[in-house]
Structures are given as structure tokens and as C-alpha cells.
A = this chain, B = another copy of it.
Amino acid sequence: MTEPSDRTLSEPDEAIMEATYRALRKHGYADLTIKRIAAEYGKSTAAVHYHYDTKDELLAAFLDYLLDQFVDSIHDVATTDPEDRLELLLDELLVKPQENPDLSIALLEMRSQAPYKAAFSERFQQNDEYIRYMLKAVINHGIDEGVFDDVDADHVTRSLMTIVDGARTRAVVLDEVEALETARRTANEYVDAMLR
């Protein structure tokens, strides 16, 4: 997997990504069109098509963009203390999405299309792999420093991502943003039980 932050988006791409973000939040995935993205972009549909042939191609790029943003926010997590760092990663995954339920709705629609669209499937897999890599690194670091028990870090990481994905799904399907708060508590309980 390439380190996503190594790629730099050119100026027009960044503006199209922001337009896509706004359009997705307004219209959801199914009702999203290049026309609606162009309206947010403030330019013609031809200007969007100059960069992307299809809506799904643009959305695949948008998934890359979201991962880039996540990676940036992780880089801003300055602490290297394993316990603090794990807490902050779980906050990024379970507290931050509470700010943006509209994006979560659109993302679940896109997730549900992964079995039909290879470009989406690929991004969601990469995204999951990257986040698991980050979680596993901090768990292994904690094991090395003797602050965490010597666990199966791969399994614990997959369990935490199961809790994260369950919360994301429940927040949307049950229209319950508190599902993320519940899961934050569940993640703490699980971490306590397994790592300490």
C-alpha cells in the first residue's frame, strides 16, 4: 500500500473534492450527479468531466481524499505514548464522526455498493488496512514497552474495527448518533479487558 500522504492533490482537485463533500452531504450517494457536484464547484459539468469521466471515478478519488484527511489528522496526534495514542486514535474513529452524520449516511450507501463496484471495494479495503496498520503499531509499541499485555495484536485490531464499523452502521441505520458514544465505551472496556 502506498503511503497516502505522499500524494499531493493539485489545486482544482482539492476544490472538486470539497464540492463533492458538500454535494454528498446534501443529496446522498444515490441522488448525487456530476451536475450537482458542478453546482457546488461553481463551474460547468464539463469542468468536472475534464478531471473525472464518471461519478463513480470521482467518488473513488473522494474516498482517497477522505483517507488522506484521516491520515493527516492522525499525523497531528503528537503523543507517542502508546496508551494516550490508542485513546486518541479511537477518538478519531468514534468521536469525530459524530460531527458529521450526513457524510456517514452517504458513506454507508457507498459501502453497501462495494460488492458491485471494484473501485469502491479497493478503497474501503485499503482504508481498513491502513487504519488497522496504525492501531496495530500502537498496540505492538505498548506491548514492547510493557504497558500492554502480550496479546494477538492483529485480532485485537480487527475487534476494534468491528466495534467501529458496527457503530458507524448503527448510527445511520437506527438514526442514533449515540451509537458512536456507546461504542466508544465498548472499545474502552474491550481495550481494558484485553490489554491491561
Contacts and interface: CB of A to CB of B under 8 A. Distances in A.
A54 B192 CA distance: 49
A128 B184 CA distance: 19
A85 interface: no
Interface stretch (A38-46, A71-79, A137-145, A167-175): A167-175
Given A111-B108, A112-B111, A159 B186 contact: yes
Interface string A10-35: 00000000000000000010100000
Contacts of A124: 173-174
26 contacts: A28-B116, A30-B116, A105-B115, A108-B112, A109-B113, A111-B173, A112-B172, A114-B173, A114-B174, A115-B172, A124-B174, A125-B174, A155-B185, A159-B163, A159-B185, A161-B170, A162-B163, A162-B167, A162-B170, A162-B182, A165-B165, A166-B166, A166-B169, A186-B190, A190-B190, A193-B193
Interface of A: 28, 30, 105, 108-109, 111-116, 121, 124-125, 128, 155, 158-159, 161-170, 172-175, 179, 182-183, 185-186, 189-190, 192-194
